[in-house]
Structure 1
Amino acid sequence: MASMKDVAKLAVVSTSTVSHVINKSRYVSEEITERVLKAAKQLNYSPSALARSLKTNRTRTIGLLLTTSTNPFFAEVVKGVERRCYEQNYNLILCNSEGDETRMKASVNTLLERRVDGLILLCSTLEGQHLDVFDCYKDIPTVVMDWGDTHFPSDKIKDNSHLGGYMATQYLIEHGHKKIACITGPLDRQQAQQRFNGFKQALKEAGLALQQQWIIPSNFECDGGYEAFNTLLASSELPSAIFVCNDMMAMGVINAAHKKGIRVPEDISLIGYDDVDIAKYMVPALTTIHQPKFRLGSTAVDTLLKRIENKDALLKQVQLEPTLVIRNSVKTI
């Protein structure tokens, strides 16, 4: 493999001149620059990323820690992260915490050993836990997505879940529904609690009572929606509509309803949350609240890069707004 010295020898210049041309760290005449680049191409010379990182104290690499889930929401967010990293000429290392603090600690140590410039966390299953690994690495620039308060310094990117829950419930009310259930996510997570709070606000403003037997906490997964609907069936009366706090649980609800001979939306209306790509292919196509997942990921990268450039700037909290996507799972009564 050719070295910088080999390029310098062929171009008849000093190694420092080759360095300035390759790294664009100082003005070099067009004639010499062309000579150096021609020699580098002829020798198939590639600068050492390791050597460059040692010199600049930057690796142009970001670490992303993710929670395992069957929910394609995460894949769509990761796509936004990866695309923005590519556009900004950054590398991305993806680690899976599987919702386990011990594995997260090991992953953070691995990423820091690889000298990543910053971290993005999408591990809401660990929300509320004290992650002692961050007591040791308080200086690493960090952005968290869809978390509540953290005990370590971090910028935050999240959607306006309260507004989204309010919009979903208000849409059902506007279509004549008064008997409305809610299948929530885990209520110890901020995003699930905020969607539920929006649901309650819409009911209160419409003068509708909150029916406790129609509030079913679940796990944000398909099986959770399936089981929650069967629990709902055991109540004394079936509601006319359900706000399901994410699309994957809504898929489970549709499946459970179909097995019981209950039609959507003829017998019961559904509205979901997230607008994952498969929502439009469900039968019926799911009316839902769109969360800008790709933009969530790309905004996290942009926020982290600003933090890397200025570690002393005030911490930021960026909130992205949801929108309503109308399809075929809600009927007017």
Structure 2
Amino acid sequence: MATIKDVAKLAGVSTTTVSHVINKTRHVAEDTKNIVLSAIEELNYSPSAVARSLKVNTTKSIGMIVTTSEAPYFAEIIHAVEEQCYRQGYSLFLCNTQNNPEKIKNHVEMLAKKRVDGILVMCSEYKDDSLDLLKNYSNIPMVVMDWGPLNPNTDRILDNSFQGGYLAGKYLVENGHKEIGYLSAELTKTTARKRYEGFLKALHEADLEMNPDWLYEGSFEPEDGYECMNRLLAQPVRPTAVFCCNDIMAFGAISAITEKGLRVPDDISIIGYDNVHISRFCAPPLTTIHQSKARLGERALNLLFERITNKSDERKTIEIYPELVIRKSVKKIN
């Protein structure tokens, strides 16, 4: 394997000149630069990324810590971040936590040892000890996005969940539904609670009341959508439509409905939330509330790049706006 000394010898220059050409740290005459580049190509020389990072104080790498890359919502955010990293010439180290503080600690330590230029943290919830761990690495540029209330130690994602829940409830009401169930993640979570509150506003505007027997809490997982829907279907009277707190729960709910020999939307209408990529390909295609995962990922990463460049610790808010996406899973009734 060729070394920088081999390149210098072939080009007839010093190793310092070769280094300046590679790292663009000083002006080198055009003719000399071309000779060095030709020598690099001829020898197929690849400079050591570690050695180079020590000299220019950058590894051109980013760490990303998420709850889970398996969830379609996070997967689409990760895809946007990775694509943006690729365009900027950065490598991405991806770490999953499952909201485990010990995993967060180990991942941050590992990323610090790899001397990443910055860390993007996008977990669905944080515990106090998790945030304390992150504060211990304040020397690393970091963006910590939180969907919850404004926290002085985190940046904020303002996803307007209340408005999204309202859009979903209003659409069901406008299509003639008066008996509507709700499958939710834990209502202690900000996003789930705000979506439910927006949904209730739409019902109240139509002089409708939420039947407490049709409200079930689980988590943002297909298994919970499946189990909650089975419990709802076991009720002596069932609703004509169900709003699911996210698309993944909706997929589980549709599976439970189908297993009972019922059909969506002929027997029960379903509306989801998030507009994950696969929602348009389920049977029937899912009516849902869209939030731009690509825009969120790109804006969060751009904020991290700003923090790397400017060394600023000012907390920021990234706002995204929900939109109704109409497909085939809601039936209009008289």
TM-score (norm: length of structure 2): 0.92
Cα distance 1:230–1:160, how it changes in 2: closer, same or farther (>3 A)? same
Distance 1:44 1:98, change over 3 A: same
Relative to 1, partners in 2 of residues 1:62 and 1:261: Cα closer, same or farther, differing over 3 Å? same
Question: Counterparts in 2 of 1:232-247, with a 5 A limit?
Answer: 232-247=232-247
1:199 Cα shift?
A: 1.1
**Correspondence 1:134 to 2:117:** no
Matching residue of 1:66? 66
> What is the deviation of 1:151?
5.9
Aligned residue runs from structure 1 range 1-333, under 5 A: 1-68=1-68, 70-124=70-124, 126-131=125-130, 132-145=132-145, 147-149=147-149, 153-312=153-312, 314-333=314-333
Q: Show structure 1 runs of 4+ deviating over 6 A.
A: none
Cα 1:201–1:129, aligned 2, differ >3 Å: closer, same or farther? farther
Counterpart code for 1:65? I
- 2:129 corresponds to which letter in structure 1? H
Change (3 A) 1:21 1:190: same
SS of equivalent residue, structure 1 residue 273: coil
* Offset from partner CA, 1:71-107 (integer Å, 9 cap, x none): 3222222111111110111110111212211111111
Distance in 2, matches of 1:185 and 1:14, equals 64
Distance in 2, matches of 1:153 and 1:55, equals 32
CA distance in 2, matches of 1:205, 1:127: 35
1:140-198 Cα offsets, whole Å, 9 max, x none, are 22223453247673433453322211111111111111222211112232222221222
C-alpha distance in 2, partners of 1:98/1:258?
30
Structure 2, unaligned runs of 5 or more: none
Secondary structure of the corresponding residue to residue 34 of structure 1: helix
Query: Structure 1: which 5+ runs fail to align?
Result: none
Contact 2:69 2:78 (8 Å CA) reproduced: no
What secondary structure, in the 3-state scheme, does the structure 1 residue paired with 2:27 have? coil
Contact 2:165-2:197 at 8 Å conserved across structures: yes
Are 2:150 and 2:156, in contact at CA under 8 Å, matched by a contact in 1? no
Task: Deviation per CA, 1:45-76: give whole Å up to 9, x if none.
Answer: 21221122112222111111122365322222
Once the two structures are TM-superposed, the CA of residue 114 in structure 1 deviates from its matched residue by 0.8
Q: Relative to structure 1, is the Cα distance of residues 313 and 137 closer, same or farther in structure 2, using a 3 angstrom cutoff?
A: closer
The answer to whether the 8 Å contact 2:146/2:155 transfers is no
* Corresponding pairs, count: 332
Q: Distance in 1 between matches of 2:98 and 2:321?
A: 28
1:39 counterpart SS class:
helix
Q: Cα RMSD (Å) of the superposition? A: 2.0
Q: Is the Cα–Cα contact under 8 Å of residues 163 and 198 in structure 1 kept in the other structure?
A: yes
Q: Which amino acid is 2:216 matched to?
A: I
Contact 1:77 1:296 in 2 (8 A): yes
Contact conserved, 2:145 with 2:154, CA < 8 A, in 1?
no
| Alignment-mate amino acid for residue 23 of structure 1 | N
The verdict on how the C-alpha distance between 1:144 and 1:192 changes in structure 2, with shifts beyond 3 A counting, is: farther
Letter in 1 for 2:12: V
CA contact (8 A) 2:220 2:245 kept: yes
Once residues 191 and 145 of structure 2 are traced to their aligned partners in structure 1, the CA distance between those partners, rounded to angstroms, is 10
Residue type matched to 2:126 in 1?
Answer: E
| Percent of aligned pairs with the same amino acid | 50
CA–CA separation in structure 2 for the residues paired with 1:274 and 1:86: 25
Displacement of 1:39 after TM fit? Answer: 1.3
What secondary structure does 1:6 align onto?
helix
